[in-house]
Amino acid sequence: MIDNRKFYINGAWVDPAKANDFNVINPSNEEVCATISLGDQADTDAAVAAARAAFDDWAFTPKEDRIALIKRLLEVYNDRQEEMAQAMSMEMGAPISMSRTNQVGAGSWHLEGFLKAFDKFEFERDFTATEKTLLEPIGVCALITPWNWPMNQIVLKAIPAMAVGCTVVLKPSEIAPLSGLLFADFCDQAGFPKGVFNLVNGDGVGVGTQLSTHPEVDMVSFTGSSRAGIAISKAAADTLKRVSLELGGKGANILFADAGEKAMQYSADRCFRNSGQSCNAPTRLLVERSVYDRTVEVVSEAAKNTRVGPASEEGQHIGPVVSEAQFNKIQGLIEVGMNEARLTAGGLGRPDGLNRGFYVRPTVFADVDNTMTIAREEIFGPVLSVIPFDTEAEAIAIANDTPYGLTNYIQTPDDEKRQRVARRLRSGMVETNGQGFAQGSPFGGYKQSGNGREGGTFGLEDFLEVKAVSAWVSK
């Protein structure tokens, strides 16, 4: 059984340098579900030192040996998936049915995708007949991951980094750390060499900053808010380390008049998924004027019919948001929205019958203008803003009028229009007609949504340096 207060450093579970307890709260009932330790500088230094010491051997470990270890990790992951589902459901509030499928499944899906990409990946490439281009691991990587999709983000960072020969120090979110501790145990069971994978729990101000400024860390890969991404970039600047960022979003979902009512329903369901706690959630619904009133009716009814309940219950409901701080932030923005736009579903307070836990009522605002606060700020809760438009050009202009650029959405059966609009949208991803992305597709954004790409070959390349070598003599 894992001791939640320990860290995983240099292939062993170790006590923190000094006691600094932090209570993990179950958002479904507001009760303490675990106690972890937050690391200090000594813990960070020990983890980085272990990663640095392991780097040279791991970087030159044959590719087939690294593949074998990752395949073994996938086996362990699949064998212990129920443990992982229970941990994520308890720590961040994903309903257990969703946790078993989407939350756990995101990790295994990306693991499989990296194995496929890595199998074909070439680290030595001919540039000319006498010159080689070598792709080499960047070094020690600090991985700082969020609470909303724990395994999705840990796997998207740790697996490609270790696959290409980097060694890593993971700092999972202190709000939802249990899944990260379990993943460390999976790596241990899979048999990764000492120092290749390390974990230190901590908060952003502490361990997060220590990793970002550490002179022996070569790269920071961070997923979280744009505000925190800016702080990490500034902290890392003095050592000129590489910083890869996957940040916030305020996705526009452009629904054209020919899309139909199924697309209207999808637009609400996709926004409320994971209790709205996804950076790529389509939280701005842009609707062509001729179907605007009907769309407002459909999405408002969908919000009213979306069941909210404890994460421990089976079913297709949504759970609580992750913490009291998030709950209060969302309530504050709903109140702002009630003064800005027309509330058509949801609103302030918990849903009926739920008096304890961080539950938010699925909420819809109509007649929203893109200058309003609820159209500008990332709410990160089950809150949908509906905005009318008259022309294709106006829809594109509204969609692009945001500091973010992660994922936009288009709903129309008109292929030419769909492709034309997709080219004009300033975002790293454009999902159309409810079709999800393929395994290994690049995940990342434009503008204040970040600067890296995760998944498949793109994710592997993110952790590599490029070296040109002249006068290469081929055998």
- Which residues fall within 8 angstroms of residue 377, CB to CB, at 6 or more apart? 250, 333
For residue 460, give the 3-state DSSP assignment.
helix
Closest CA to 215 of 139, 136, 135: 139
Rounded-to-integer distance, Cα 146 and Cα 134, Å: 32
Token readout for 174 is 């202190």
Contact 142, 212 (CB under 8 A): yes
Cross-strand pairs, 343: 365
Locate tokens 């079709």: which residue? 435
CB-based contacts of 339: which residues, under 8 Å, 6+ apart?
none
- Of 91, 141, 279, 288, the active-site residue reads 279
Please tell me whether residue 92 adopts helix, strand or coil conformation: helix
Per the annotation, the verdict on 33 as an active-site residue is no
Continuous H helices in 28-139: 41-59, 63-79, 81-92, 96-98, 104-120
In whole angstroms, give the CA distance from residue 304 to residue 454: 35
Tokens of 63: 């590719």
Task: For 119-148, give one letter per residue: b (16+ CB within 10 A) or e.
Answer: eebeeeeeeeeeebbebbbbbbbbbbbbbb
Query: Residues with Cβ < 8 Å from 475, sequence gap 6 or more?
Result: none
What are the respective helix, strand and coil percentages of the chain, to the nearest 5?
45, 20, 35
CB neighbours of residue 336 within 10 Å: 15
Radius of gyration of the chain (CA): 23
* DSSP per residue, 205-225: IIIIHHHHH-TT--EEEEES-
Q: What are the backbone angles phi and psi of residue 68, rounded to the nearest 5°?
A: -60, -40
Closest to 429 measured CA to CA, from 292, 268, 252: 252
Does 187 participate in catalysis according to the annotation?
no
Exactly one of 91, 246, 340, 378 is catalytic; name it: 246
Rounded Cα–Cα distance for residues 45 and 214 (Å): 8
Active site residues: 246, 279
